[in-house]
Structure 1
Amino acid sequence: MFLITHWLLLALYAKGESSTTYIVHMDKSLMPQVFERHHDWYKSIIHSINLATVNESSNSKKTKKLVYTYNHAMHGFSAVLSLYELETLKNTHGFVTAYPDRSATIDTTHTFEFLSLDSPNGLWHASNFGEDVIVGVIDSGVWPESESFKDDGMTKRIPSKWKGTCESGQDFNTSMCNFKLIGARYFNKGVIAAKPNVTISMNSPRDTQGHGSHTSSTVGGNYVNDVSFFGYAKGVARGIAPRARLAMYKVLWDEGHQASDVLAGMDLAIADGVDVISISMGFNNVPLYEDPVAIASFAAMEKGVLVSSSAGNEGPKLGTLHNGIPWALTVAAGTVDRAFESLVLGNGQTIIGWALFPAENAILENYPLIYNKTISACNSVELLTQVAGQGIVICDALESVSVLNQTRFITLASVIGAVFISDDPVLIELGHLHSPSIVISPKDGPYVIKYAKNAKNNNPFASIKFQQTFVGIKPAPAAAFYTSRGPSPSYPGVLKPDIMAPGTNVLAAFIPKVPSATIGTNVFLWSNYNLLSGTSMACPHASGVAALLKATHQDWSVAAIRSALITTANPLDNTQNPIRDNGKPFQHASPLAIGAGQIDPNRATDPGLIYDATPQDYVNLLCALGYTQNQILTITRSRSYNCANPSFDLNYPSFIAFYGNKTRSVMQKFERTVTNVGNGAATYRAKVSNPKGFVVTVLPETLEFGFKHEKKSYTLVIKYKRLRKKEEDVSFGDIVWVEDGGAHTVRSPIVVAPNFV
């Protein structure tokens, strides 16, 4: 009965059933010898399926074209198939697995100083500013005319390992590449397959969104003088690795973002010879064996190519992170020590605030300062219009009215100017004001209101100073409210994110075809440089630092570079207190928000000890997860790996443990091995900060190294008891290996969390 039903369904599928793009994994080792190339084998398979389909149903299309064939990021192809054709394909010799194509989620003039890269003895100089390291950016394309992509000062010899090309296309020719932008490719067959009637608006590597130009210039943009965002953040723009080479792989389109295109871009980036891949996007709620970024980054890791990825913008809720890939770098976003604009009261008091009103040369000087309880809610256009031309209106901080709505009402009423009292991170981190206004802190609000109510002669006045930039603001950094938090849904047993980097209001190259600011409700402005926020902006900062490390330590593995970034990250802000979480006001940020802390490039170049890992170590983890042989094969592409030693205990430079709702006491044990990358013999001693309510023990407590590259192992045990039935807190601490003499400190965060997250 089952067989009859099964074949009846297949017959129904064959009759007029719609088709879908599938990503198909094949076992290349089983390719028949008659084929010289993998592409020919896959093409033959599709041809055979076509014939079978034609024989089965006259309604089937007689031709099916491959979308892509893959050979570096994975082994297999993508193709448009009906369910009947998919079932036929599953019986093909060498078939491993298949799943539907899916959509991706898209997630500087001062940040280099904030990261202390301008130090004369730092990583910039040690790496010669990343000279000749090649960074492949997987994104929305590039605007080649941007000053950030000029090759002034670049050496005129492209590294011999480079195998890529510069593809011509609509409004883009090969002469637009140079010794800075050495490659540009584009991939949209997946979008076209998903939407057969689509018209691609810009069929070339040219950027139509600004996202790709922004991220790539953040990674490795050249030096550009006198850059600003309408007068804000003015200075010399440069990428984190300003002498690195850039290659753009356009996979994000106005018409869609398909996994098959992302895979194709990463596939060729690996083949082209890049050293680092920067990808500011991800795929939500997919297992590692169906995640294009995870699959491609495993192949990259095998070849020594580090993949730096964004954590996502779904915070502050826990468990929202994507790209929680054990063999990739996952980057969270933090704020920067920078503010814009000031409010100057008539008594001479200056209050630093925030706003980005984009009208250059705007002046709002010595206007009456109005505080009127009738209108201070700032939630009525009718009431605000009555005082619109009289002066600068103060808006109360109210729970019943969001500051975002207040800014909207002020704009609609065409008020001369306004003072908003708020610390709402949504506005401060992501919003731009469309009227001549300023946002001040609630701690300054009462003083301003008091001045407005009590000034002598009842004639208070104030000025708002625009196009001002203040740096050194404290405290900073803080975890951005929007940055996605761990644990990783794809595998929570490895602590993610790894590190935090600047992601809020980052200035970098943009495109002059998309508005970057608005005045009022209908005046749109364009700029060649834009202030954007997101983990998309944080990721290329880490990618750039990875490129600098690659230039400095060419023999380091991907795991070694990631380890150096994690163990040297700074958990403290510029007040030397623990980094705070803007998503949870007044709380310290846990490693589930910031990883080990703010990236510290100069310390990362000399970490003292590293936690290394081999591809087989990651496979041991996949085996322990209970993945089937085919699921593992989709990631590894090879049967040369084995499951002889499955283990959840990956040699990772951080620790995370979980407890269950019914568990009264638990003990979790971790084994770690560290490699001495210092100059010679060294002794390290363990210093532990226990997570609240838990006890951590380390054996041995002292590691003695006799020579460089020597390895030593230790055991870390977490013991804890649930003190309250309803306890749901995340607790965190750390272990720091301190070298005698203080030359190096090697820090790893420790997290204990309830398993409900």
Structure 2
Amino acid sequence: MVRRGRRARCGLATVPLLVALTGALAVAPLSAAHGDDAEGAALHLVTFDEPGTAGRRGDRDPADVREQLRDRQDSALARVSAPEPVYRWTTALSGVAVELTDRQATELRSQPDVALVEQNAVRPLATAAAPAASAPAPQGRGGAGVVVGVVDTGIWPESPVFGDSPGIGPRPARFVGACTPAEDWDRGVCNDKLVAAAWFVDGFGEDAVAADEPLSPRDVRGHGTQVASIAAGNAGVTVSAPGLRGDYSGVAPRARLAAYKACWSAPDPEDDGCATADLVSAIDRATRDGVDVLNLSVAGAPGIDTVERALLGAAEAGTVVMAAAGNDGADGYATHVSPWVTTVGGLTSVGNAGGVVLGRGERLDGLMTARRPVRAAAVVARDIAAPGRTARDAARCAPGSLDAARASGRVVVCERGVVGRVAKSAAVDLAGGVGMVLVNVRRGELAHDLHAVPTVHLGRGAGRTLLARLSSDRGRTITLAPSDARRSAPRVAGWSPAGDPQGSVLKPDLVGGGTGVLSAVPPTVAEARWAFLSGTSAATARASGAAATLLARRGWSPDVVRSVLAGSGRDTGDSVIRSGSGALDLRAAQRGRLAHTVGPRTYRRWLAGKVDEVNAPSLLFRGDGTAKRRVTNVGGRADTWRAEVSGFERHAVTVSPSTVTLRPGRSATYRVTVSGSEMGGLDDGAITWVAGDGSRVRVPVAIGR
């Protein structure tokens, strides 16, 4: 197979997708195929001022509008003698991806009808290491009649979570997406559940793709399959994996799925990622197909770039847009800063702990996925190297490195490092071991995995203690025991970034469970076809499923769905600059009745600087001032809401009026006034509208300098 290249190697700091993609926000420009010529041409994304068909209102035939947009694109490119574009976009935005020299790019930027010219770049997926894990998801019924689009690494369609689902009902007539035949993919793989699939690689470059990665929507790395299964995987699917048994369900199991592959793996894992030209193309296609919810679990840029402009078109088309805040923690701010995107941060999950019981009340705490205890004699892996293998290999439980005669029936203590964690337990299992203790030899997080044998993962300190005990008492009997004791309540994860206090909109909008979320994966990732996903990717997938559930149940517009999801968030105890409105609470959102609505043209007017504020369900002040918001009763009965102000330490915050009474469909404007900034420093809190029946709508407020 011949693969065309459009990119040179870039220095993106990532590692294999399901091991520890960190979601760093640094992006690397990608050179085009002709990037080594005398003029240094590279692939650029060019966005024009006028909107695509999604951002227009009127009776004009979309086909006529697209033809007109293409003519104007060609005219602008001809003025700088640019070649034929690699991609054209006419739905979510009007733009092209085209190879340009620096001179051509500069000339295009100066044209009055060009809004933005930027070089193609690669972005990481928003995945982080997992310190905790969750059990199979509870069963759900939500999402009927809704299509969730996932822009990611593709999908593994043979997973039972994507199989035909009885009772899913007819395919929505408004959705026009389809399956396109490709490598290792034919139209027949789509069904009533997976209704469309497409792939986009010209930004990344075909010859830059790993040899085992098919040029098709098929996912072999797992991330896209995980995200899709969390958001909308079928209910009632049996989980049968080491240490786990039960039934699985996505958040919105009756929703349909459309997969748009725009993220790829390369021979060198440092080059893995999603080219912005491919991301924009996938968003444009999803918008044209008519998805109801769009999930983008990919880190963003600091400002409003071409990807954000494409997401604006999706929102204008009536799509609820969900995107990941990234995983840069304290090293960067939350990304996807536009008000038309629900930006999702990540929470640490409440998980079941486990430990190694040494006897006489001594217990070393760690993490454990398996729910059944194991009691057996322990042996240190370093001491039982197989003939011909080194003690170093055995210590790390490398495949084939353990002497089965001495491992059989034992709990084997393995050191972390070099070899994959799951591969270590597989080596123990192959040697006849009945359990494993995985010990960190350096500082590092603990991780839940689906191990071949029951496993406890210990930190460095506890691991040293265990090895010291076993050195003086070889063959000591120990117990690997799960614990029902709950760990600390969920808080914003350390890798989930805060919003920029100097930004235009408070981000993230909300946070969701993002550590160790069980999900489906291809057999190329795990033989059991199940694995855990962590990071704002997982949290965003959960939020997308929640949005699909609300759309199906309430039929609200995208702005109402965004507002109600945020307003029903639970206080996590973290600052609002880190948690936004709080923790995702779908049950509370389904009872929501008060929303901050936004007109369909408002976002574009805000982008053009014609309005200063959007009626967002949050407020971000720079010092003293007054801002206004409008709330609408989107419920079915009249009610009275009372404003409560909480959390502020350095400022006085008042709300006027402090009480509103609204009939269904009616709106009221309220003003929030901040004073006291002469005291200096950041401050935050919340305004909570409390109804007569006790239901609450939380509006986070951050005050910067």
Q: CA separation of 1:132/1:471 partners in 2, compared to 1, >3 Å: closer, same or farther?
A: farther
Kept in 2, the 8 Å contact 1:222–1:243? The answer is yes
1:21 maps onto 2:33 in alignment: no
Quote the offset at 1:219 in angstroms.
1.0
Quote the offset at 1:209 in angstroms.
1.4
Q: CA separation of 1:344/1:30 partners in 2, compared to 1, >3 Å: closer, same or farther?
A: closer
What letter matches 1:158 in structure 2?
R
Q: How does 1:156-167 map to 2 (within 5 A)?
A: 157-167=170-180
Partner residue of 1:651 out of 612, 615, 624: 615
- Give CA-to-partner distance per residue, 1:590-617, whole Å, 9 cap, x none: 2222222211101102223111112443
1:277 maps onto 2:262 in alignment: no
1:263 maps onto 2:248 in alignment: no
Q: CA separation of 1:369/1:264 partners in 2, compared to 1, >3 Å: closer, same or farther?
A: closer
Quote the offset at 1:654 in angstroms.
1.7
Q: How does 1:501-516 map to 2 (within 5 A)?
A: 501-514=512-525, 516=526
Q: CA separation of 1:178/1:602 partners in 2, compared to 1, >3 Å: closer, same or farther?
A: same
Residue in structure 2 matched with residue 246 of structure 1 by the alignment? 257
Kept in 2, the 8 Å contact 1:104–1:281? The answer is yes
Kept in 1, the 8 Å contact 2:47–2:96? The answer is yes
Q: CA separation of 1:433/1:423 partners in 2, compared to 1, >3 Å: closer, same or farther?
A: farther
SS at match of 1:191: coil
**How far apart, CA to CA, are the structure 1 residues paired with 2:340 and 2:52?**
27
Q: CA separation of 1:95/1:342 partners in 2, compared to 1, >3 Å: closer, same or farther?
A: closer
**How far apart, CA to CA, are the structure 1 residues paired with 2:608 and 2:51?**
21
**How far apart, CA to CA, are the structure 2 residues paired with 1:196 and 1:460?**
52
Q: CA separation of 1:133/1:365 partners in 2, compared to 1, >3 Å: closer, same or farther?
A: same
Q: How does 1:558-597 map to 2 (within 5 A)?
A: 558-572=558-572, 578=573, 589-597=574-582
Kept in 2, the 8 Å contact 1:404–1:427? The answer is no
SS at match of 2:282: helix
Residue in structure 2 matched with residue 60 of structure 1 by the alignment? none
Residue in structure 1 matched with residue 221 of structure 2 by the alignment? 209
RMSD (Å), alpha carbons: 4.5
1:719 maps onto 2:704 in alignment: no
Q: How does 1:466-505 map to 2 (within 5 A)?
A: 473-487=486-500, 492-505=503-516
- Give CA-to-partner distance per residue, 1:214-236, whole Å, 9 cap, x none: 111111111354315x4234321
Kept in 1, the 8 Å contact 2:651–2:677? The answer is yes
Kept in 2, the 8 Å contact 1:364–1:417? The answer is no
Overall identity of the aligned pairs, in %: 26
Larger radius of gyration: 1
Kept in 2, the 8 Å contact 1:183–1:247? The answer is yes
Q: CA separation of 1:382/1:567 partners in 2, compared to 1, >3 Å: closer, same or farther?
A: closer
Q: How does 1:29-68 map to 2 (within 5 A)?
A: 37-38=67-68, 41=71, 44-45=74-75, 48=78, 64-68=83-87
Residue in structure 2 matched with residue 300 of structure 1 by the alignment? 314
Q: CA separation of 1:47/1:715 partners in 2, compared to 1, >3 Å: closer, same or farther?
A: closer
Residue in structure 2 matched with residue 183 of structure 1 by the alignment? 196
What letter matches 1:557 in structure 2?
S
Quote the offset at 1:501 in angstroms.
1.1
Q: How does 1:309-708 map to 2 (within 5 A)?
A: 309-317=323-331, 319-339=332-352, 341-347=354-360, 353-355=366-368, 365-367=376-378, 418=437, 427-428=445-446, 438-439=456-457, 461-465=477-481, 473-487=486-500, 492-514=503-525, 516=526, 526-554=527-555, 556-572=556-572, 578=573, 589-624=574-609, 643=610, 646-647=611-612, 649-658=613-622, 666-705=623-662, 707-708=663-664
Q: CA separation of 1:84/1:237 partners in 2, compared to 1, >3 Å: closer, same or farther?
A: same
Quote the offset at 1:239 in angstroms.
1.0
**How far apart, CA to CA, are the structure 2 residues paired with 1:170 and 1:433?**
32
Residue in structure 2 matched with residue 739 of structure 1 by the alignment? 691
Residue in structure 2 matched with residue 631 of structure 1 by the alignment? none
**How far apart, CA to CA, are the structure 1 residues paired with 2:474 and 2:113?**
85
- Give CA-to-partner distance per residue, 1:343-396, whole Å, 9 cap, x none: 334347877630459xx99955244999xxxxxxxxx979989xx98998999x
**How far apart, CA to CA, are the structure 2 residues paired with 1:205 and 1:407?**
27
Q: CA separation of 1:690/1:720 partners in 2, compared to 1, >3 Å: closer, same or farther?
A: farther
What letter matches 1:65 in structure 2?
E
**How far apart, CA to CA, are the structure 1 residues paired with 2:43 and 2:219?**
25
1:135 maps onto 2:148 in alignment: yes
SS at match of 2:560: helix
- Give CA-to-partner distance per residue, 1:266-324, whole Å, 9 cap, x none: 11111111101011003333x31x241x111211111211110001010134x421112
**How far apart, CA to CA, are the structure 2 residues paired with 1:196 and 1:312?**
24
- Give CA-to-partner distance per residue, 1:701-734, whole Å, 9 cap, x none: 21122x11111111111223455xxx75x53321
Kept in 1, the 8 Å contact 2:368–2:448? The answer is no
**How far apart, CA to CA, are the structure 2 residues paired with 1:93 and 1:494?**
28
Residue in structure 2 matched with residue 59 of structure 1 by the alignment? none
Count of residues paired in the alignment: 623
Quote the offset at 1:553 in angstroms.
2.0
Stretches of structure 2 lacking an aligned partner (at least 5 in a row):
1-34, 54-62, 127-132, 267-272, 382-390, 397-402
Q: CA separation of 1:278/1:316 partners in 2, compared to 1, >3 Å: closer, same or farther?
A: same
TM-score by length of 2: 0.77
Quote the offset at 1:14 in angstroms.
13
Quote the offset at 1:504 in angstroms.
0.7
